[in-house]
């Protein structure tokens, strides 16, 4: 079963569909760093189980093989399967042309992906003086419909933030209803539900609208996804990773500490390697570290830090009426963390590690684990050098692969 991934990001949604047995024909993504990540992951899947898999391992360890050399191990169709173009009226013909060459005589059974969510996000609207009106991303669903028209897949899966349920145009029209009407116009009945990642084994409080479209006129096909409650706490994500202070760690090989649990293996987070990567902590100012100490010590008493309670000498923000929880500790003893979002690329204040002796924010690997990415998933930068910021952005924007796999298994059954 073949699919196209639109607005693919770092490939979290795609990873779930690959695990369920689907074959990607193309990933379309405008961000160059995310495209590099997609290609590196394509190399992982292509080389896994072959004699050349050791070259992938050497690459993510930063030893003896360049990214170009890794990509040369891929056949031409897989190298070209990641299309680094923005989706839009001007570029669609070129994207169609590239996908048509890749698919040959294959049928596209499925299209997956969701446009950038900032335009529908409640937080995004609250922070924007125009409430995101006039943002061109509001109407990227129209481009999605062009691909449905062109390829006529049996189904599609469209993911977005729950703000989509309330987002309206300046004239008061519902974006969601416009989508449903447009998709029906091009031949698809679309049904949707809010899904919570924590119900599918992801240790994170992440809610998303998952729309599923089926070609034709049948209704009532939206499946019930199989739930999984692993009955563990967030500490499971953190405890086997090396202890780091601010500024410590490595983009490349990082060995594990002792782990006696099952969750990390059952969730595919640890899947055979004896090391992980990108466990590298941000450097922090002395002021931030002092705030972190206060936040963690309060959290250890069961209290959250209110920004207004900080000593005046530690305050740098003038806004004292909103975002007063801008410094937030990740709750190790709870069943799930707060939502990982792309803002983690700008600072780690909302994701403070709960161990006061480490006194830092989360590393990219810790954030990726909370998103259920496997430890052998390597997040690339724009160029040959690894980038913590690019990794955080991709991780925050992603769909948790574990939730994606649950969706994919049911779509496969359909």
CB atoms < 10 A from the CB of 151, how many? 21
Other C-beta atoms lying within 10 Å of the C-beta of residue 226: 11
CB environment 114-130: b (16+ within 10 A), e (fewer): bbbbbbbbeebbeeeee
Query: What average pLDDT does the chain have?
Result: 92
pLDDT exceeds 60 at position 135: no
Residue in the block written with tokens 């189980």:
49
d(CA 184, CA 15): 28
Summarised one tens digit per residue, pLDDT across range 260-283 is: 999 999 999 999 899 999 999 999
In a domain, 290, yes or no: no
Q: Is residue 403 part of a domain?
A: yes
Proportion of the chain above pLDDT 90, given as a percent: 83
Read off the pLDDT of each residue in 120-129 and give the average, rounded to a whole number. Answer: 48
Q: How confident is the model at residue 142 (pLDDT cuts 50, 70, 90)?
A: very high
User: Please, which pLDDT band fits residue 339 given cuts at 50, 70 and 90?
Assistant: very high
- Split at pLDDT 50, 70, 90, the class of 318 is low
Q: What is the count of structural domains for the chain?
A: 1
pLDDT band of residue 169 (cuts 50, 70, 90) is confident
Q: How far apart are CA 377 and CA 279, in angstroms?
A: 12
Q: How confident is the model at residue 314 (pLDDT cuts 50, 70, 90)?
A: confident
Q: Is the pTM of this model over 0.85?
A: yes
User: Apex CA 101: angle with CA 97 and CA 105, to 5°?
Assistant: 120
Contact between 238 and 353 under an 8 Å Cβ cutoff? The reply is yes
- Give the range among 2-11, 155-164, 307-316 with minimum mean pLDDT: 307-316
pLDDT at 388 over 50: yes
> Largest Cα–Cα distance in the chain?
67
> Which residues does the annotation mark as catalytic?
117
Within a domain: 404: yes
Instruction: Assess whether pLDDT exceeds 60 at residue 113.
Output: yes
CA–CA separation, 167 vs 176, rounded Å? 8
**In this structure, is residue 60 part of a structural domain?**
yes
Region 214-228: mean pLDDT is 96
Residue 110 β-bridge partners: 3, 155
Q: Whole-angstrom Cα distance, residue 248 to residue 60? A: 18
pLDDT of residue 321: 56
Which whole number is the average pLDDT over 81-90? 96
pLDDT (mean) for 295-300: 92
Residue showing tokens 């996000």: 121
15 lies in some domain:
yes
Q: Which domain holds residue 31?
A: 2-226+399-413
Strand order in the sheet with 23-28: 82-83, 23-28, 2-6, 110-112, 155-161, 207-215, 188-196
The separation between the first and the last C-alpha atoms of the chain, rounded to the nearest angstrom, is: 12
Q: Is 289 within a domain?
A: no
- The proportion of the chain whose per-residue pLDDT surpasses 70, expressed as a percent, equals 93
Per-residue pLDDT tens digits for 351-371: 999 999 999 999 999 999 999
Give the per-residue pLDDT at 310. Answer: 83
CATH number of 204's domain? 3.40.50.150
Average pLDDT over residues 205-211: 96
pLDDT for residue 121: 52
pLDDT tens digits, one per residue of 5-40 = 999 999 999 999 999 999 999 999 999 999 999 999
């Amino acid at each position: 079963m073949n699919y196209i991934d639109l607005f693919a990001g770092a490939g979290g949604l795609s990873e779930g569909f690959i695990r369920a047995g689907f074959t990607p024909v193309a990933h379309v993504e405008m961000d160059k760093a995310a495209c590099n990540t997609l290609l590196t992951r394509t190399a992982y899947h292509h080389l896994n189980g072959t004699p050349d898999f050791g070259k992938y391992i050497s690459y993510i360890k930063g030893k003896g093989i360049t990214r170009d050399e890794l990509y040369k191990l891929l056949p031409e169709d897989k190298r070209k399967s990641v299309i680094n173009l923005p989706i839009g009226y001007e570029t669609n013909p070129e994207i169609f042309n590239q996908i048509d060459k890749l698919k040959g005589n294959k049928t596209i059974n499925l299209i997956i992906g969701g446009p950038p969510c900032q335009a529908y996000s409640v937080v995004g609207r609250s922070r924007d003086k125009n409430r995101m009106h006039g943002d061109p991303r509001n109407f990227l669903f129209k481009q999605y419909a062009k691909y449905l028209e062109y390829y006529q897949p049996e189904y599609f899966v469209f993911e977005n933030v729950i703000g989509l349920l309330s987002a309206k145009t300046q004239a008061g029209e519902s974006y969601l209803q416009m989508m449903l009407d447009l998709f029906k116009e091009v031949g698809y009945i679309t049904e949707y539900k809010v899904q919570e990642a924590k119900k599918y084994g992801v240790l994170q409080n992440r809610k998303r609208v998952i729309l599923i479209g089926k070609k034709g006129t049948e209704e009532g096909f939206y499946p019930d996804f199989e739930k999984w409650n692993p009955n563990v706490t967030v500490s499971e994500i953190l405890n086997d990773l090396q202890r780091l202070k601010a500024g410590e760690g490595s983009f490349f090989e990082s060995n594990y500490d002792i782990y006696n649990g099952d969750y990390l293996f059952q969730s595919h987070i640890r899947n055979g390697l004896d090391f992980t990567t990108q466990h590298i902590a941000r450097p922090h100012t002395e002021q931030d570290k002092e705030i972190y100490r206060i936040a963690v010590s309060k959290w250890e008493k069961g209290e959250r830090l209110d920004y207004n309670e900080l000593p005046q000498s530690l305050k740098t923000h003038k806004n004292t009426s909103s975002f007063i929880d801008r410094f937030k500790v990740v709750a190790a003893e709870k069943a799930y963390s707060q939502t990982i979002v792309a803002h983690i690329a700008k600072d780690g204040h909302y994701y403070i590690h709960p161990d006061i002796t480490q006194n830092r924010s989360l590393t990219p690997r810790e954030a990726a684990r909370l998103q259920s990415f496997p430890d052998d998933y390597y997040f690339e930068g724009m160029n040959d050098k690894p980038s913590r910021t690019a990794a955080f952005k991709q991780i925050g924007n992603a769909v948790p692969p574990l939730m994606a796999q649950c969706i994919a298994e049911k779509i496969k059954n359909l």
